[in-house]
Amino acid sequence: MSQVIAGTPLDGRVAVVTGASSGIGAATAERLAALGAKVAVAARRKENLDELAARITAAGGTALALPLDVTDRHAVTAAARRVAERLGRPDLVVSNAGVQLISPIEDLRVDDWQRQIDLNVTGVMNVLGAFVPHLVAAAAAGGPADLINTSSIAAARILEKFSVYSGTKAYLSHFSRLARVELGRKMVRVSAIEPGMVDTELPDHVTDPDASKLMADLLRDIECLSPADVAETIAFITVAPRHVNLSEITILPTAQAV
């Protein structure tokens, strides 16, 4: 899908992508850089980030690797300052860090529950707190400003064993709607992407054997989305005219039935 948008329509923009060490985050960072944005890539795995930044730089782009745990609010705030100092004021934030740990609710895997809440909810709010002032300032200066949250089709579908994960993503989708009401008045666009089955490493985190088999079967039996498919959708949002806010996009494999 990378040929859909050509040229460098994001020239002059400064993007931040969390959860950028693999999958959707890495693909999105590379796509935004190819469209002309300077990109700060953030995640916990420094080696992966360094490799991603090197690829972007080798392709002629500009990248800043930010080893970061988004559940650490003070670290996220410090990272926002570093982006502004090194690349300029950030005006495009893709909050993508997340984890999927599926299990029956009665198994009471409370540590897995808490990890998902910490990363999928608290981590997103930490990113919001650190970067929204920059987005508001960018919009006030007359430029485009985007906050894009990676949610999931699980936010809306009833899927067995997905209770806590789906709850965190439902929070994120609805939060994005509510944040858009406030920030849209200030010309900051807020969007939620709700992908279906994507061929990433996320299913590898699933510890429940039955749920793991379900995910593996889906990956085997249908042509799933690639991270590049989702990245192209995110890119499409960012290159729309400033007055156009694509607020919620569901992107599914054609063959995915649930």
Residue 18 DSSP symbol: E
CA-CA-CA-CA torsion for 49, 55, 60, 63, nearest 10 degrees? 0
Classified as helix, coil or strand, 231 is helix
Residue 159 near residue 169, CB atoms below 8 Å: no
How far, in Å, CA of 217 to CA of 233, rounded? 25
Let me know if residue 175 belongs to a domain: yes
Domain count for the chain: 1
Let me know if residue 78 belongs to a domain: yes
Let me know if residue 1 belongs to a domain: no
Active site residue 171: no
Q: What is the pTM of this model?
A: 0.92
How far, in Å, CA of 64 to CA of 40, rounded? 5
Output the tens digit of pLDDT for each of the chain's 258 residues: 344 577 899 999 999 999 999 999 999 999 999 999 999 999 999 999 999 999 999 999 999 999 999 999 999 999 999 999 999 999 999 999 999 999 999 999 999 999 999 999 999 999 999 999 999 999 999 999 999 999 999 999 888 889 999 999 999 999 999 999 999 999 999 999 999 999 876 555 566 666 666 666 667 788 999 999 999 999 999 999 999 999 999 999 998 877
Let me know if residue 257 belongs to a domain: no
Range of the domain at 109: 14-251
First to last CA, the chain: 24
Let me know if residue 83 belongs to a domain: yes
Q: Domain holding 58: CATH number?
A: 3.40.50.720
How far, in Å, CA of 87 to CA of 41, rounded? 12
How far, in Å, CA of 64 to CA of 86, rounded? 8
Let me know if residue 7 belongs to a domain: no
How far, in Å, CA of 43 to CA of 26, rounded? 10
CA-CA-CA-CA torsion for 144, 177, 195, 46, nearest 10 degrees? 60
Catalytic entry in 152, 165, 189, 192: 165
**Count of residues in the chain:** 258
Residue 224 DSSP symbol: P
The amino acid sitting at 128 is L
